[in-house]
Amino acid sequence: MDLTGASRIVVIGGGQAGAQALQSLRQGGYAGALTLVGDEPALPYQRPPLSKAYMKGEMTEERLYFRPAPWYQDQNIEVILSTPAKRVDRANRTVELAHGGHLDYDALIIATGSRPRVLPTKGATLHGVHDLRDLSDVERIRPNMIAGRKMVIVGAGYIGLEAAAVARQMGLDVTVLEMAPRVLARVTSPVMSDFFETEHRAQGVQILTGARLDHLDGDGDKVTAAILADGARIDADIVLVGIGILPNEELARDAGIACNDGILVDRDARTSDPRVFAAGDCASRPLVHYGRSGRLESVHNAIEQGKLAAAAILGKPRPVEDCPWFWSDQYDLKLQIAGLNQDYDEIVVRGDPKDRKFAAFYLRNGTLIAVDAINSPPEFLASKKLIMSGAKLAPDVLGDTSISMKDIAAAALAA
């Protein structure tokens, strides 16, 4: 559908994807009415620092904002905060707002993000038990970030491990509980899991893998301990829960838009309704370098889909769909990930994990599909190109640190 005549565009959700869509629409020359409606009280802000520098108190709230308040005025963008969208009425092309009123649209971008999975155990609602998703979560957590306090983190994913690193650096006594036999089990290989476990233990974090949480114990309404299935009791002043996220797809699904673990979109971020787009954590998109669809929980994905939606609405050529990429900062370690490592059949480690500078390459049928690079930008950056090219790589060459990554990439791309 040609939407180049659109004069009313509504963006629901002020996260990375929504903010990007606003910017790309204006940058792309769209001069019509543009409205952002978001359920949080703050202007659109970056989430990654919430479990890093901002949690540590090294960054002001203002620096989290993608754009300062005057930018929205200058760009003539109407910003409606603290207001969830209640319903999308596709027949009348209007979004009903929770506090009354509605916004009519010619094109709609749903960027509602995701929400943390709720701990399914007793005690999950006690005071002192927190998610780590929104600015408001961190505001509640930070007063407890005091040396000597006991923090229990449920779930050893990236959020949990990043928070563990920050808390340790601030002198808290930190225990991480993970149900799986290793940390980061859902997202990476055993070699990386081992590396991060070793690192966190060396920093003084207690990591319990294969640990089944039975419930959280409280004194009155205040959390005091995590009780494991085997009866072990771990004292806690504060509990962080990081056990994954769920896409906020209900608004779309209730409007009859196709969803399946995320709002289904095509390569232009367009949903089953040609006037409605979805971008970011809430969307399930074609992963063009992998021949399948899926949801990606990342900054890069949110930015890219925000750009794709804007380009499609404005009738501009589709921006390049980059190789998916991610990063995580823990202590002085920078993990940079390119690609998706599901279904790898071979793993090549380049460098020695003991040096805290190495990379794990994931191959399938001799083709590079992903890399986890620790303090190794060349491995990360070269892999992005190699993954997109589909180049074949010899494992012994990839693992040979006497050959530079530049040379390896040049040879593989020329072949």
Partner 1 sequence: MTKIIYVDNNGTERVVEATNGESVMEAAVKNSIPGIDADCGGACACATCHVYVDASFMDKVGEQQEMEKSMLDFAENVQENSRLSCQITISDALDGLKVTTPESQH
Residues forming the site for partner 1 (CB under 8 A) = 23, 27, 46, 48-49, 52, 63, 66-68, 71, 299-300, 303, 325, 327, 329, 334, 336, 375-378, 381-382, 405-406
Question: Cα–Cα distance between 296 and 185 in angstroms, integer?
Answer: 17
Nearer to partner 1, 67 or 102 (CB): 67
Query: Rounded to the nearest whole angstrom, what is the least distance from the CB of residue 376 to partner 1 in the complex?
Result: 8
3-state secondary structure of 373: strand
Query: In the structure, how many helices (H) and strands (E) does the chain have?
Result: 12, 26
377-389 vs 405-414: helix crossing angle, rounded to 10: 10
DSSP designation for 359: E
Nearer to partner 1, 44 or 218 (CB): 44
Indicate the residue type of 185. Answer: A
Nearer to partner 1, 366 or 377 (CB): 377
Query: Rounded to the nearest whole angstrom, what is the least distance from the CB of residue 20 to partner 1 in the complex?
Result: 9
Question: Which residue, among 128, 406, 404, has the nearest Cα to 240 in the 3D structure?
Answer: 128
Nearer to partner 1, 67 or 215 (CB): 67
Query: Rounded to the nearest whole angstrom, what is the least distance from the CB of residue 200 to partner 1 in the complex?
Result: 20
Q: Identify whether the C-beta of residue 267 lies closer than 8 Å to the C-beta of residue 321.
A: yes
Nearer to partner 1, 71 or 215 (CB): 71
Question: Cα–Cα distance between 361 and 350 in angstroms, integer?
Answer: 8
Nearer to partner 1, 300 or 316 (CB): 300
Query: Rounded to the nearest whole angstrom, what is the least distance from the CB of residue 150 to partner 1 in the complex?
Result: 29
The H or E element that residue 227 is part of is strand 222-228
The H or E element that residue 377 is part of is helix 377-389
Q: Identify whether the C-beta of residue 289 lies closer than 8 Å to the C-beta of residue 265.
A: no
Query: Rounded to the nearest whole angstrom, what is the least distance from the CB of residue 146 to partner 1 in the complex?
Result: 26
Query: Rounded to the nearest whole angstrom, what is the least distance from the CB of residue 260 to partner 1 in the complex?
Result: 28
Query: Rounded to the nearest whole angstrom, what is the least distance from the CB of residue 112 to partner 1 in the complex?
Result: 21
Nearer to partner 1, 178 or 329 (CB): 329
Question: Cα–Cα distance between 79 and 11 in angstroms, integer?
Answer: 10
Instruction: Give the distance between the most distant pair of CA atoms in the chain.
Output: 67
Q: Which two tokens stand for residue 403?
A: 């050959």
Q: Identify whether the C-beta of residue 155 lies closer than 8 Å to the C-beta of residue 180.
A: no
Q: Identify whether the C-beta of residue 94 lies closer than 8 Å to the C-beta of residue 276.
A: no
Q: Identify whether the C-beta of residue 339 lies closer than 8 Å to the C-beta of residue 347.
A: no
Nearer to partner 1, 387 or 405 (CB): 405
Query: Rounded to the nearest whole angstrom, what is the least distance from the CB of residue 118 to partner 1 in the complex?
Result: 28
Phi and psi angles of residue 128, each rounded to the nearest 5 degrees, phi first: 95, -5
